[in-house]
Each structure stands twice: as structure tokens, then as C-alpha cells.
Amino acid sequence: MADGLEFFVVDVFTDTPLEGNQLAVFTDARDLASDRMQRLALEMGYSETTFVLPAEEGGDARVRIFTPRYELPFAGHPVLGTAFVVGDALGRDAVRLETGLGVILVELEREDGGIAFGRMEQAIPAWRPYEREAELLAALGVKRSALPVEAYPNGPLHVYVALDSEEAVAALRPDLSALADLDDAAANCFAGSGRSWKTRMFAPSGGVPEDPATGSAAGPLAIHLARHGRIGFGEQIEIRQGAEIDRPSVLYARADGSEERIERVEVGGPAVVVARGEFRLP
């Protein structure tokens, strides 16, 4: 460990450095205990930090994902950003990453010799009405949702609130203390039409007051919109997020199938490696 613990910083869901969602990727975590991983995630201070380990289930690598406060079985931008780092190291155009929600396939597209875009096939989540809807709306400062308020577990428990306009989404000033009391739910507020949507995500209970780009929420959002007739199944949507915290991001998502049976969920976007460093720990 005295020789240095290597990490990369990746800006995910953007092709512009210093935008998108920041991610720290520790490339060799074999000698790290879980509590040390958690302390490093807190030290980095990003919405998530990942730790790469040898594969155990036939993938190319195993990935553990930590917010500043706890470990997640899956999260979207950490898996995509880690795939960029692992794919570059292995010289692959596709990598299979083992997560707490199973093996995630990430297909990588190259441009000018480097990886420029990735598409991940996500697990298909179940959904249910959110039982604390009134408390959630009050914490958000919102009177009503234009669609049913439903929860989709996909790593975090994502809950969706539809607003009437993108301006209403941008104007949100939620009570973060009240949100933190809502069963670790991640509140996703969105508006848009057709294939263009704007969203904001608040998860203060996980140490993330507002997330710049939420890949694990993008797939369920595509399902939610298709289930409620706002888009067609199989249509790819563009999701804009992060502008209010000066980290503009763009995500792409698609849900294939029908209301009776979701067949495939895909989320993609660009990413860029912006830094490399090492920790020297006793």
C-alpha cells in the first residue's frame, strides 16, 4: 500500500471535461477492507466511488460501488465510468462488470483511438406505488404529480414525480432534511415531451443532495414514460440533468418490450477520463 493506491477520475455522461457526473475509480482494491473503501468514498466526496476487484462470476472484473455514506449494489454512472477505465486497460470494445445486481454488459464505442461512448444493458426493475407520496411531495414543495408516483428499485430506490414543465423542474428548492427521512428514496423530478426530457435527482440520505447525472434512474424513467403512454416502447429518449449544479449532463435511455413484458433496458452516454492519481496509505 505504501507504493500507492491508483485511481482515475472520470466525468460521466458528458464529453466535456469538468462537466457531467464525477466518479473516482480505484483500479486495484484487492487489499482494501470494506471500511477503508467507505472512508475513501467519503474522502473523494463524489456521489459514487468504485473499487475494481478480480472477477468471480465470469465477468471481466468485479465492481463495488460506494456513496459517501453506504455501499450500493448497482449505480449507472459508476458502472459506465468504470467500464471506460477497464475497457481501455484491457483494449476491449465490450466489458462485463460484476455488480450486486448481476453482470452488466457495457458496449463501448471508439473515436479517434479512444473510448467515446458506452451503452449498458441494465437489469429490469419491478415497480410499485410509492407509499409515502404525500410526504415526498411536501418535501419537494410540489402539490401534485402529473403521473402516478411510483418507485423502481435499481440500486437506489428511485421514485418519480412528473411536473408540468421543465421550468418547474429547474425551479425546485426541496427540503433536503425532509427528503433524507424518506426511507433512502432517491427523488426524481422530470418534465418534457417526445424524446427530450429534463430531470433532477435528490438523494440526501445517501450523502448526495443533488446528483449531476443518474444512470440507474434513466432506465426506469424510460420504462415509466412508456408504461404511462408518454413515449413508445423502443423509443430512445435524451435526458438532460445537472445544469442547476453546474454539471450539465446528457443521458440516453430506451425500454424495449410492452406494458405486459419489458424485454430490455439500455442506458448510454459519453464519458471522459480527466485525472489520474494515487493515495499513499499506511
Residues catalogued as catalytic: 48
Closest CA to 20 of 277, 239, 203, 255: 239
Measured between alpha carbons, how far is 245 from 22 in angstroms, rounded to an integer?
A: 12
Measured between alpha carbons, how far is 152 from 146 in angstroms, rounded to an integer?
A: 17
Residue type, 237: I
Measured between alpha carbons, how far is 269 from 249 in angstroms, rounded to an integer?
A: 9
Q: Which residues have a Cβ under 8 Å from the Cβ of 89 and sit 6 or more positions away? A: 27
User: How many CB atoms within 10 Å of residue 57?
Assistant: 9
Contact of 165 with 171, CB cutoff 8 Å: no
E strands, the chain, in order: 5-12, 21-26, 48-53, 61-66, 71-72, 94-99, 102-111, 114-122, 128-129, 150-153, 157-162, 185-193, 196-203, 208-211, 237-241, 249-257, 262-279
Contact of 255 with 218, CB cutoff 8 Å: no
